[in-house]
Structure 1
């Protein structure tokens, strides 16, 4: 059957999470005067923060910690690494990050041209594990919400990608089928393997050209390659 519905992941597929997060963390280092806290390398702090954040997100995807735990712990642990044991500062930094990072507008290259092209022929949707209150802000601030018919968040359903239930729900709410849908995302396990195990074809956006053993339906390294597929 012909593809009529395209489901996109958001973070690092369309919205440049890495770049926007780094810019926000640099702002935090300046605003909270990291040098006065004994943190002399913002680059090192960002590296340590990303390590803890990735570990906590992995636990969050497995439902082993709550959203609140993830938010409170990632900055506390990063600061603690630099011997800054101040829960109050960690909480203030966490609030600043959640408020400010969604305002950042950097998109993955070719995002708008690809979405404009696809929108003329397909119904476009978002499936995201990101926090609901910030994902909508990202879409609005980057002026790409207009391209999407539906935004599905894991918090709406109570399960996260790669759980089959989120894909089942997404097809149901958009009145799509496995055969007329395709998933595009940068996370091999959550987006690609999750979708294909459920029976939806996928396009793995392997932007960093990471080595892997999986054989997805399609694989691209740049969003502009989508023009050659659709």
Structure 2
């Protein structure tokens, strides 16, 4: 963690795997989807299915952020490719996707320490916002169902802004819309590339939430960001040492 401190007034949070436990909630939603479409009766192992889906989904999201695939194709292909891997026929991948996305925001698992941190920051008087790359209809439901929506003044979603993290445009739009000063703004997220490198490239300080204590993946940060600070925390409670 950088020992220097700056006075921040506006905090911008990533949502998935920073506050809302995407991994746990995705697993729960997929279990319901797996059951709904009776895949076990076809001899499919759930964890194998989930792992292949997760890999397909991750790669397709990279293509989506890079403009190589559109939203509808992403939603279809992530299930179509997974079904094909198990040679499953007779299931509409878009129907499966619709069920999954209906169940996904109903899951309520939060990253450890989320309510305590947000209550602390609210008492301290920070203005708080979300910057997320998720789909609009899902992200707002996640925030409402999990009880997080009341903490944030505005939510900035890449689908609305037409620019995903790590592009500078989404950070610039968020900071201007929040009526914030860049020097007094801080981005907090778990994705070293999308959240941290994206914010630093824009010229905003950032916190890398790194619960797994990764030490070998800082390649995106080798560019010179001498004017900006980067902090590292392994728990959300660690943010109280900065803020």
Question: For this structure pair, what is the TM-score category when the shorter chain's length is used for normalisation?
Answer: over 0.9
In 1: Cα distance, 2:212 partner to 2:77 partner: 28
1:189-221 deviation per Cα after TM superposition (whole angstroms, max 9, x unaligned): 110000001100000011222232347610111
Residue 220 of structure 1: aligned partner: 233
Distance in structure 2 (CA, Å) of the matches to 1:158 and 1:134? 16
Q: Distance in 1 between matches of 2:90 and 2:212?
A: 36
Q: Does the alignment pair 1:5 with 2:18? A: no
- 1:229–1:2: structure 2 CA closer, same or farther, 3 Å change rule? closer
Q: Deviations over 1:171-198 (max 9, x none)?
A: 1100011101000001111100000011
Tell me which of 165, 172, 178 is aligned to 1:174.
178
Aligned residue in 2 for 1:98: 101
1:91 deviates by 2.2
TM-score normalised to structure 1 length: 0.95
How many angstroms apart in 1 are the aligned matches of 2:166 and 2:205? 14
Tell me by how many angstroms 1:37 deviates: 2.5
CA RMSD of aligned residues (A): 1.3
Shift of 1:92: 2.0
- Bigger Cα displacement from structure 2, 213-222 vs 149-158: 213-222
**Residues 53 and 74 in structure 1, CA contact (< 8 A), matched pair in contact too:** yes
- SS of residue matched to 1:50: helix
Q: Report the counterpart of residue 3 of structure 2 in structure 1.
A: none
Tell me the distance in 1 between the aligned counterparts of 2:122 and 2:57: 34
| Most deviating of 203-212 and 51-60 | 203-212
Please say if residues 38 and 82 of structure 1, whose CA atoms lie closer than 8 Å, have aligned partners that are also in contact: no
| Alignment check: 8 A CA contact 1:49 1:74 kept | yes
CA separation in 2, counterparts of 1:92 and 1:150? 31
Q: Which deviations, in whole Å up to 9, do the C-alpha atoms of 1:12-43 show, x marking residues without a partner? A: 1000000000011111222211122331x101
Hey, what does 1:134 align to over in structure 2? Answer: 138
After superposition, residues 55-70 of structure 1 pair within 5 angstroms as 55-70=59-74
Is 1:119 paired with 2:132?
Answer: no
| Corresponding residue to 1:109 among 107, 112, 130 | 112
The Cα offsets for residues 77-135 of structure 1, whole Å up to 9 and x where unpaired, read as 001100013352x2221111011101110000000110111112200000000001110
Question: Which consecutive residues of structure 2, in runs of 5 or more, have no partner in the other structure?
Answer: 1-5, 223-228
Structure 1 stretches lacking a partner, 5+ long: none
CA deviation string 1:122-164 (max 9, x = no partner): 0000000000111010000001110001101111211100110
- SS of the equivalent of 1:175 reads coil
Between Structure 1 and Structure 2, how many residues are aligned?
228
For residues 91 and 197 of structure 1, the distance between their equivalents in structure 2, rounded to whole angstroms, comes to 36
